[in-house]
Amino acid sequence: MLRSVAQFGMIAAALTLVWCFLSCFGIFKAVSGSMEPLLPTQSYGIYNKLKYGVSTYNAIPFLPFPHPPKYLFRWSHPERGEAVAFSMIERFAFSGITERSIYLKRVIGMPGETVELRSDSTYINNRYLDEPYAVVDGESPTDVPDLFPIHKRHTLQHYGPFVVPKAGLTLDLSEPAALRSWSTVLTEDGAVIDLDKGTIDGSVRTSYTFRHDFYFVLGDNRHNSLDSRWFGPIQENCVVAKLIWP
């Protein structure tokens, strides 16, 4: 009897340790070269799920988490230059990925800032940003689908100026195709979008006021990265962890 109780206690303790580890840390496998040289293809990294607080993503590690995640407790926010893990609904149909996944990119633009890429150099609010982690070797691809937002004309090397959404900022949607371009981003902000009817939360609008802060993220390997230039900014609650190794 005592032996059975002891075995049960050891199993319970082991499961508790596993739950604690999975609630606090995650392992990321780089399936592309977008974060090279920091994370080469097929290499692994470890991220801290509790860096910014406790969210539904790390509170229920064994269950599918709702999207977008929600923070139950928050004690910090992402900072520029941090490599972060985030949850995202697939926003670029050409990739063939349809499931919600965890991605890893670097925070470049903070809420409310204006981001611009000029010949692969990054400017924030018209000031040059020194990026020792960024790699821009090789030719930039030219045969790329429309970048975000699709009703604007951008290239990978010359992107923006783009204003990163923040809570209270009003977005102009009067241009043709603007609502379709922004539809998934607005959905992650909590809006109900009906593209067939052209409505937001049940009414036709030519503008939209954001409810959450967003971040503009880029891969370190600028010519080989699917990032905010492709899928747009990331809602604050979708940023669920910070890379801590390597």
Among candidates 214, 23, 219, which has minimal Cα distance to 104? 219
Q: Is the pLDDT of residue 96 over 90?
A: no
Q: Is the pLDDT of residue 240 over 60?
A: yes
**Please, what are the domains in the chain?**
26-169+210-245 (2.10.109.10)
What is each CA distance from 92 to 31, 46, 68, 156, 184, in whole angstroms? 17, 26, 17, 15, 10
Average pLDDT (62-71) is 69
First to last CA, the chain: 47
pLDDT for residue 45: 94
pLDDT for residue 124: 98
pTM over 0.85: yes
CA–CA distance, 67 with 55 (Å, rounded to integer): 11
∠ CA 89-91-92, nearest 5°, is: 140
CA–CA distance, 146 with 153 (Å, rounded to integer): 8
Q: How many CB atoms lie within 10 A of CB 246?
A: 12
Helices (DSSP H) in 129-236: which residue ranges? 178-188, 228-231
Q: Is the pLDDT of residue 47 over 60?
A: yes
CA–CA distance, 110 with 215 (Å, rounded to integer): 5
